[in-house]
Amino acid sequence: MNRFLKLVNFELGRFMKIYLALIGITIISQIAGVIIKSNSYVERANEAIYEDLIPKEDFFATEGLMSMLHVLRSVWFMGPIALCIAALIFYVFFIWYRDWFGKNTFIYRLLMLPTARIQIFLSKAVSILLMVFGLVAIQLILLPIESVILKWIVPLDYRIDMTVGEIIQNFRELQMLIPSTFIEFVLYYGAGMMAVFIIFTAILFERSFRLKGILFGAIFVGLAVLVFFSPILIMEIMQTYYLYPIEIFILEIILGLVVIGASIWTSHFLLKKKITV
């Protein structure tokens, strides 16, 4: 195993306990959500149909048939996703600051490794990306399992069965996490990665120049955002829309790569010449 992979492995290991806890919470909460939502639907339907003697068709017309979409909109389902997102956003910062703070001074060790220091930066970024993919994968595995549980609880004529693809297509929030086309995937995850790189660079500015570094970091973030959105901004300001969407798309990908490149180069420079323990 080369040193870069060892670093990634090490970074993943350091967050593993919390990460597994997040996965655990997601699984428990979502499956509990399916069970609770399904049971309450069946209960309400039975009550309406057999006790209040409301015709089936009327009940379904007002309430709709039971499907995974009912579960998805609940806090049982979206809650843990929001929690995971919040935790990972927090960790984007903490993955750096934890090395400086506390009685141990792990940053000394990291900076004294006989590897290019940019590898520390890249290993942390790759770790974040892998953790995001891991959570998305767990979600993809959970969706069919949750559909099966729903089928067990809700009788056939009370429900609409949906494939995983249909579930995602009918739910905007999930579409962002699990894009259906390759282009969307590149766009969402590329933008996400770019954001992580920009934030990492801003953190390194702060770690290099402390108070003044916060200002430098903010300027860097501002510039990066400006460069990335420049085609759209220019067109809005000029009120001339002379680019086709596909052209904008390609331009954005190029600019995204430019921003990522600038971010890595700047971080490389900061880690090599300016960083301070």
C-alpha–C-alpha distance, residues 247 and 245, integer Å: 5
Shortest Å distance, C-beta 237 to another protein: 40
Closer by beta carbon to another protein, 117 or else 243? 117
Shortest Å distance, C-beta 106 to another protein: 6
CA angle 62, 68, 72 (to 5 degrees): 95
Shortest Å distance, C-beta 9 to another protein: 9
Closer by beta carbon to another protein, 28 or else 277? 277
Closer by beta carbon to another protein, 45 or else 204? 204
Closer by beta carbon to another protein, 115 or else 169? 115
Interacting residue ranges for another protein, rule: CB under 8 A: 3, 6, 10, 14, 102-106, 108-109, 111-117, 272-277
201, 186 contact by CB (below 8 A): no
Shortest Å distance, C-beta 112 to another protein: 5
71, 34 contact by CB (below 8 A): yes
**Long-range CB contact pairs, 272-277, < 8 A, 24+:** 272/117, 274/208, 274/209, 275/111, 275/117, 275/204, 275/207, 275/208, 276/207, 276/208, 277/100, 277/105, 277/107, 277/108, 277/111
DSSP conformational letter for 104? S
Residue 70 main-chain phi, psi, to 5 deg: -60, -40
205, 213 contact by CB (below 8 A): yes
Closer by beta carbon to another protein, 112 or else 246? 112
Shortest Å distance, C-beta 97 to another protein: 14
